[in-house]
Structure 1
Amino acid sequence: MNEDSATNAGLGNAAATHLHRVDQAKLPPTEPVQPAQSDQPLLRNLRGIRYCLIALAVLALFHTLYFARAILLPMAMAVVLGLVLKPVRRKLTHLGLPNMAAAAVVFVTFTAILAVAISLLWQPANHWLEQAPEILHDLRKQLEGGGGPLESLAEAEQELDKLTAMTEKAARSDQPMAVRVEQPALTSQLLNTTGSLATSLGITLSLLFFLLAAGDQFLEKAVQVRKSWTEKWDTVLLVKEIEHKMSTYLGTITLINIGLGATIACGLWMIGMPHPLLWGVLAALLNYIPFAGLVIGVCVVFIVAFKDFGNVPHALLAPAVYLAANGLEANLVTPAVLRKSISLNPVVILVAVFLGGWCWGIGGIFLAVPYLLTFKIICDANKRLEPIGVFLSR
C-alpha cells in the first residue's frame, strides 16, 4: 500500500506540473507595468515639487547658518577641535588614566598653549594694527610717485575742484554746513568685538572640555538607536572613519603648517624683518585657508616689509621668502605626506571656502575644508548620496 500511495502521489505531482506548464504556455507574455498616459504629468509635477523642496531646504539651511552663526560657529569649532584632540585623550586612557582625568589633562594643556601664544603675539599684533593705515598711506604715495604726467594731471584736477568749490561757496552765502562723519579706527573696531570674541571662545572651550570628557558616549547612543546589527555596525564604521580621517588630516595639516610657519619666520629673520615670530604664526594660520591664504600672507608681509625697508625692491624679499617656502610645502611636503587621504575637487574646495566665509567669516573659512571632507565621507558611505561624493572627488 505504501508503494502504491507513493506512486500515485508522484503521478499526481507530475500531472500537476504538466498542467501548470500548459497553462503558462497559453498565457501571453508578461510586460512591465507602465504608468498610464494620464499619470505621467502628475509624476513630472511630483518630481519638480521634490526638486523645489530640496532647493528650499538648502536655502533654509544657509539662512539658518548665517543668522545663527553666533552660537553655531563656536559649536562647530569645538567639534573640530574635539576630533583633533580625541586621539590624544584616548592614548592617555590606554595608559591607565581615567577618562575624566585624561580629558582634563588634554584640555588644560591645549588651553595653556593657546594662552601663551596669545600673550606673546598680542602686543606686536596690536602694534602693527595701529600702524596699518599709515603704512598703507605711505605705500600708496610711493607707488603713485612714478606716475609722471598722470600724477600732475591728477593734482591739477584737484586744484581745479578746490577753486570751483571756493567760488560756489562765495556766491552762495546760504550754503548748508558740510557734515563729515569720522569712521572709527581699525583698532577701535577690533576692540569693540572683543566681548563677542571672548564669549565665542568661552563657548568653544566649554563645549570642547565636555566633548573630551564624554568619550564615546555619543557613539554608543547612536548605536543603541539602530535596529539591526548591520545598521549598528555601519554606524560604528562610519563614525570611526570620520574620526580617523578628520584627526589624521587636521593633525597632519597642523604639523605641516607649524613647520611652514617656522621656515617663514627664519627666512624673514634672516632678511632683517622685525617680529618674525608673529609673521610665522600668521603664515601657519593662513595656510589653513586654501588658495586665498597664500595671497593674503604675501600681501601682508610685503606691506610690513615696505614699512621697515622703505623701498619696494628691498621689500620684495619678504614675499619672495614667503612664496618659496609655500611652494615647497604645497608641491613637495603636503602631497608626499597626505597623498590620497584628502581627494577633494579644488573647485569645490574654493566654493566651500567662499560659502564658509560668507556664512561665518574667518571661522567659516577655517572650517570649510574639514566639514566638506566630513560630508564627502558620509556621501561615500551612503549609496543614495554616492553620486554627490563622486562629484566632490578630485
Structure 2
Amino acid sequence: MTIAADATSQARARNGDEEARNGEQEMKSAAETWQIVGDVAVTGLFALAVLAALYLMKEVVVPIILAWVVANILLPVVNAMERNGMPRVASVGVVTLALMIILLTIVMLLSLPLTYWLSRATELGAVLREKLRSMAGPFDFLNELSRSIGQITGSPGTGLHVEENTNIVSGIISILTPAVTQGVLFLGALIFYLIYQKKIKNRSVLVLPTRDARLTSLRIYADIEHNTTVYFGTFTIVNLGLGVVTTLLAWAVGLPNPMLWGVLAAVLNYIPYIGAALMIAILFLVGLFTFSATSEALVAPLVYIGISTVEGHFITPALMGRRMTMNPFAVFLAIGFWTWMWGPIGAFVAVPILMTTIVTFRHLFPRDTPELPD
C-alpha cells in the first residue's frame, strides 16, 4: 500500500510539473505574441511620424530628393570626366552648367508658344465648351433621366454640364512656376551631392556597428545608384526619341507649335501611366481648338496611343531588362501616394523611391529559394 501511494504521489507530482511547464510555455508564448504586436505598433507609429514629417517638410525634402534623382542621372558623366583627368569639382561645374544651359535654351524656345497658349486660355475654354456642347447629344437622355429622378425624389436634377469658371491660367502657373528658394535648394543639393557623393556614402556607413552591416549598406548604395542611373538614363534616351516622334506627329497632322507638344510628351513620359494619359488629353484638346471637325482632332491622340503603347510595352522593357521591371500595380500605387504627398514632383520621384525601397528590401531580406520558371 505504501509503495502504491508513493507511486501515485510521484505521478501527481509529475503531472503537476508538466502542467506548470505548460502554463509557463503558454505565458511565454502570450508574452512573445504581445511583444510582436507592440513592435509592429511602434514601427507603424514611427512610419506614420516619418510620413507626417515628410509631408510637413515637403518644401525642403522634395528639392533634395529631386536633386538626388537628377544627380544619379549625371553621375556617369561626372565619373567619366574625372577618370579622364579632369578634377571632380571642375567636372561637376561643367556638367551642371551644361544642364542649366540646356534647360534655359528649352525654356527660351518654348516661352513664346507657351505664352501664346496661356494668353488664349479663356478663348480656348470657350471653344472647348462649344465643342463639348455640340458633342453632348448622346447625354441628353441622361439629363432628362436626372431631371425625372429629381422630380420624383423632390431634389432638383442638376444634369450634366461643363464647369464655366475654371481658372486654367492660375492652375498651370501654380504647377509650372517653382519657388525661388526651392530652385536654389535644388541646385545647391545637386552640386554638393555630385562633388561629395563618395564621401557621403563612405561616411554614412561608418555609423553602423558591424563590418557586415557596413558591407551590406555599401552594396545597397551601389545597387540603388546603378539601378537609378540605368533606369533614368535609359528612360531619358527613350523620352528624347518619344519627344522627336511626337513633334513630327504634331507637325504632320497640322497642330500648331509642334515642338512644344514634343517637349511636353518627353517630360510627361517620366511619369508612368499618368503622363501618357495627360498627353493624349492635351493632344485631343489642342486638336479640338485647331480643327473644325472632331474626327480630325482625334487623329493625333489615336496615333499617340499607338506610339506610347509600342514604347511602353516593347521598347522600354526590352532596353530595361527583366531585372529592372517593377510590378505595375506597385508603380501605380506609388505614383498615386507620392502625388498626394508632394504633388507633380512626387509623381516624378515616385518610381525612384519605389526602386530604392525594393532594392533595400532585396538586400535585407534575400530570397533563399530560387525563382520559379515562367
Please confirm whether the aligned pair reaches a TM-score higher than 0.5, indicating the same fold.
Answer: yes
Q: Could you tell me how far apart the structure 2 residues matched to 1:354 and 1:373 are?
A: 15
Secondary structure at 2:270's aligned position in 1?
coil
Residue of structure 2 in register with 1:66 after alignment: 55
Q: 2:123 aligns with which of 134, 158, 161?
A: 134
CA drift of 1:151 comes to 5.8
Q: Which runs of 5+ in 1 are unaligned?
A: 1-32, 159-181
Q: Deviations over 1:96-133 (max 9, x none)?
A: 01111111111111111111111212222232233334
Matched, 1:291 2:280: no
Residue 212 and residue 315 in structure 1: after superposition, are their counterparts in 2 closer, same or farther (change >3 A)? same
Q: Could you tell me how far apart the structure 2 residues matched to 1:153 and 1:223 are?
A: 63
Residue of structure 1 in register with 2:254 after alignment: 272
Matched, 1:351 2:333: yes
Residue of structure 1 in register with 2:5 after alignment: none
Q: Is the 8 A contact 1:306 1:312 kept in 2?
A: yes
Matched, 1:55 2:44: yes
Instruction: State how 1:13-28 maps to structure 2 within 5 Å.
Output: none
Residue of structure 2 in register with 1:85 after alignment: 74
**Rg larger for:** 1
Residue of structure 2 in register with 1:233 after alignment: 215
Identity, % of aligned pairs? Answer: 29
CA drift of 1:327 comes to 1.7
Residue 283 and residue 190 in structure 1: after superposition, are their counterparts in 2 closer, same or farther (change >3 A)? closer
The AA in structure 1 aligned to 2:47 is V
CA drift of 1:212 comes to 1.3
Matched, 1:316 2:298: yes
Residue of structure 2 in register with 1:282 after alignment: 264
Residue of structure 2 in register with 1:213 after alignment: 195
Residue of structure 1 in register with 2:33 after alignment: 44
Q: Which moved more, 1:134-143 or 1:110-119?
A: 134-143
Residue 49 and residue 137 in structure 1: after superposition, are their counterparts in 2 closer, same or farther (change >3 A)? farther
Residue of structure 1 in register with 2:98 after alignment: 109
Residue of structure 1 in register with 2:284 after alignment: 302
Secondary structure at 2:360's aligned position in 1?
helix
Q: Is the 8 A contact 1:269 1:276 kept in 2?
A: yes
Q: Is the 8 A contact 1:136 1:303 kept in 2?
A: no
Matched, 1:365 2:347: yes
Give the TM-score taking structure 1 as reference length.
0.76
Q: Could you tell me how far apart the structure 2 residues matched to 1:83 and 1:288 are?
A: 15
The AA in structure 2 aligned to 1:339 is G
CA drift of 1:380 comes to 0.6
CA drift of 1:323 comes to 1.2
Q: Could you tell me how far apart the structure 2 residues matched to 1:342 and 1:352 are?
A: 16
Residue of structure 1 in register with 2:240 after alignment: 258
Residue 192 and residue 338 in structure 1: after superposition, are their counterparts in 2 closer, same or farther (change >3 A)? closer
Q: Deviations over 1:246-295 (max 9, x none)?
A: 10111100110110111011011011111111101111111111111111
The AA in structure 2 aligned to 1:310 is S
Residue 271 and residue 217 in structure 1: after superposition, are their counterparts in 2 closer, same or farther (change >3 A)? same
Residue of structure 1 in register with 2:364 after alignment: 382
Give the TM-score taking structure 2 as reference length.
0.80
Q: Which moved more, 1:367-376 or 1:126-135?
A: 126-135
Q: Is the 8 A contact 1:245 1:341 kept in 2?
A: no
Residue 130 and residue 380 in structure 1: after superposition, are their counterparts in 2 closer, same or farther (change >3 A)? same
Residue 303 and residue 150 in structure 1: after superposition, are their counterparts in 2 closer, same or farther (change >3 A)? closer
Residue of structure 2 in register with 1:330 after alignment: 312
Secondary structure at 2:104's aligned position in 1?
helix
CA drift of 1:226 comes to 4.5
Instruction: State how 1:191-202 maps to structure 2 within 5 Å.
Output: 191=173, 196-202=178-184
Q: Is the 8 A contact 2:175 2:344 kept in 1?
A: no
The AA in structure 2 aligned to 1:81 is V
Residue 147 and residue 183 in structure 1: after superposition, are their counterparts in 2 closer, same or farther (change >3 A)? closer
Backbone CA RMSD of aligned residues: 3.0
Q: Could you tell me how far apart the structure 2 residues matched to 1:257 and 1:285 are?
A: 7
Residue of structure 1 in register with 2:154 after alignment: none
Q: Deviations over 1:61-116 (max 9, x none)?
A: 22122221111100100111111111111100101011111111111111111111
CA drift of 1:195 comes to 7.1
Matched, 1:341 2:323: yes
Q: Could you tell me how far apart the structure 1 residues matched to 2:277 and 2:336 are?
A: 15
Q: Deviations over 1:19-40 (max 9, x none)?
A: xxxxxxxxxxxxxx98522333
Q: Could you tell me how far apart the structure 1 residues matched to 2:301 and 2:309 are?
A: 12
Residue of structure 2 in register with 1:167 after alignment: none
Q: Could you tell me how far apart the structure 1 residues matched to 2:79 and 2:188 are?
A: 19
Q: Could you tell me how far apart the structure 1 residues matched to 2:136 and 2:210 are?
A: 75
CA drift of 1:245 comes to 1.1
Q: Could you tell me how far apart the structure 1 residues matched to 2:280 and 2:45 are?
A: 40
Q: Could you tell me how far apart the structure 2 residues matched to 1:290 and 1:224 are?
A: 37
Q: Which moved more, 1:289-298 or 1:189-198?
A: 189-198
Residue 188 and residue 139 in structure 1: after superposition, are their counterparts in 2 closer, same or farther (change >3 A)? closer
CA drift of 1:152 comes to 11
The AA in structure 2 aligned to 1:326 is S
